[in-house]
Structure formats: structure tokens, C-alpha cells
Amino acid sequence: MIIDIHGHVSAPQGLYAWKANQLAARGAHGRSPLKFTDEQLENALRGAPGVFGRAHLDQLDKHGTDLQLISPRPFQLMPSEKPSKIVHWWHEECHNVIAENVRLHPDRFKGVAALPLAAGDPVESALPELERCVKKLGFVGCIFNTDPYENSGIEPPALSERYWYPFYEKLCELDIPAMIHSNSSHSMRTNYSTNFILEETIAVVTLCNSDVFKDFPNLKIIVPHGGGAVPYQLGRYQAATWARPKGERFLDRMRKLWYDCVLYNPESVEFLIKIVGADHIMFGTECPGTGSHLNPETGRSCDDVRPSIENIEWLSAGDKKKILEDNAKQVFKLKV
């Protein structure tokens, strides 16, 4: 069984038109009701002509993905917009669409929430919706943005700060994993896509140099896109901790985290597995998305990541299965 832990919802255009309306009205219209027909929802998943629907289900079929965990599209989540209530409404509507998609395709999708943490608000403000998603909608995990200000020059609290602890406590209580995933970027130098990588890099370095895992030994944090820059820049961080006893060096601490393999070239996927080890990696594609472009040399979509794993000669079948299936089942406690 192939489990892709990193997918985002394909929704009807009406969802995004509703968002545009909310942003324009800044909440003045109140929370206008939003309801889609099954046909509209299916059209979005099948890639009926429109903006975002890129034949989601077809691509999963073509790649042989059996189950995909889907969360809201991160770059659309707008946590730095005001007032906070439109941030909350928007997350909730995205979750509702995800729940609908899971209802329509219970074997194909599982829901993953996005922490509705508006910039400047206490992390506690986001927890009720997280709880609703898990307890009411049956979601199996969440994503969260380490910088709700969306790269606008205001410094958010580091992941090592007490600010985040109520969230970590809730994750442990609900026993779900959380994947780091930043949203948009206000910077004129750095777009949202590159900012994903930067935030992941900062997050891994911060967590590995902190007491977070001492304070929350059961916390499950996933770093997508192969861990940002960290596996590749490992030497820099490892050098500073070679003097420590084994088990406390940087790489040892990196292995308290999980990584997905959303890396769109085979060399990088192989490199990630070599550095971090199969025990801490899960299959992911973020398909459809940034990687859905076709590689003209292979004729395959870049986010068809599975061959990059399966073709690694030195990787055992058992390790391949861990990455493609077993680790996800364990971390997300999937009953499939």
C-alpha cells in the first residue's frame, strides 16, 4: 500500500472566490454560508477546467498512490490577514471541504487540519478548531506555520519558546503528528515556495538545539520537503556537536523528527535517505502542486516521487516499505 502523507485539497473555485470576498470585506459581510454540491466537489478533484483543479484523482491513480493525507493549500492560508476571524473562518471552510472530500472518497483520502493561528494571537486561540478537526471530523494530523506573520519583518516566537507549549501539549494529548508548513511570504526577495525551505531549515535547527523533545518526548513533528536545507548542510551543524557524547549530537537529535521526501529530483531523495535513514522518512508528493510539471526527459510528472525511492538499489525492500507505508501508519495511527 502506498501512502502519501503530503497532499493538499483540490477544491471548487467557489472556495477561493469566497476567500477573495472575505479578504475584500474584512469580515464585514459576516460569515456568508458556503456549501458545495457533490458534483462541484468531484469536478474539482477530477480537474474540470478551472484554476486549481489539476486532475487530482487521475494523478494519484497514475502514480499508484493508494491513500493521500490532505490538508488545506498552505500558501492560501493567509494567517497574517486581519481581522483574525476571517483567518479562522477560512481555515474552518477549508477543513469542511476536506471533510467532504474524505466523505466522498473514504479510501483515498484522510483529513489533515491546518492550525488556524492568526498572527499576533496566542497559540491557544487555534486549539479549539484543531480539536474539532480531530474529534468531530476524524482528521489524523495537522500542519502548522512557524511564522504566522508570513515573512513580513516581524519576528515570531522561536519553536523553542514557551509560546508554543500549549500547542505541543495539545498534540500530545490528541496523539497526532504536526507537519511544519509555512504559508505565503510578504517578502519581495523571497517567494512563498523558497520561504517553505527557509522556515523548515530554521525549524529543524531550532528544535534540535532546544529542550522541546526533553519536555515533550512523545511529540511527533514532521518536516516536509526533505527537511529544508538541513540534511545537505548537516556537516555545519554536526561539527559543533562532535564533542558531545553519542546520542546527543546534531544528527541524533535530527532523528527525533520525521521527514517527508517531497523533493523533485531522484538524487535528493536518495541523499535524504542516506543521511537521515529510512526509519524517519515518509513518502510524500504534494501532488498536485509545484511538482506537477512534466519532466520532458522522462515524460513523467516531477511529483511522481515513488520511482525515486523504488529505484534506489542499495535500499532494502523493508526500508522501502517503511517509507512508502509503515512509517505513516505508525505516526498517523492509520487503520487501513
Say whether residue 336 binds a second copy (CB under 8 A): no
DSSP E strands: which ranges in the chain? 3-8, 67-71, 109-111, 113-114, 142-144, 178-180, 221-223, 258-260, 281-282, 294-295, 300-301
Say whether residue 228 binds a second copy (CB under 8 A): yes
Q: Which stretch binds a second copy (CB under 8 A): 16-24, 56-64, 132-140, 311-319?
A: 16-24
What's the min distance (Å) between Cβ of 329 and a second copy? 26
Say whether residue 75 binds a second copy (CB under 8 A): yes
Q: How many residues contact a second copy, by CB under 8 A?
A: 80
Which residues, 305 to 324, sit near a second copy by CB under 8 A? none
Say whether residue 202 binds a second copy (CB under 8 A): yes
Structural element, H or E, at residue 76: none
What's the min distance (Å) between Cβ of 333 and a second copy? 30
The percent helix, strand, coil of the chain (3-state, each to 5) is 45, 10, 45
Residue 222 forms beta bridges with which residues?
Answer: 179, 258
Choice from 96, 210, 238, 330 touching a second copy (CB under 8 A):
238
What's the min distance (Å) between Cβ of 192 and a second copy? 6
Say whether residue 302 binds a second copy (CB under 8 A): yes
What gap in Å lies between CA 5 and CA 179, rounded to an integer?
10
What's the min distance (Å) between Cβ of 305 and a second copy? 9
Which residues, 86 to 125, sit near a second copy by CB under 8 A? none
What's the min distance (Å) between Cβ of 46 and a second copy? 16
Say whether residue 167 binds a second copy (CB under 8 A): no
Strands 281-282 and 258-260: parallel
What's the min distance (Å) between Cβ of 191 and a second copy? 3
Residue 247: other Cβ atoms inside 10 A: 8
Helices vs. strands in the chain: H and E counts, helices first: 14, 11
What gap in Å lies between CA 234 and CA 310, rounded to an integer?
25
Say whether residue 9 binds a second copy (CB under 8 A): no
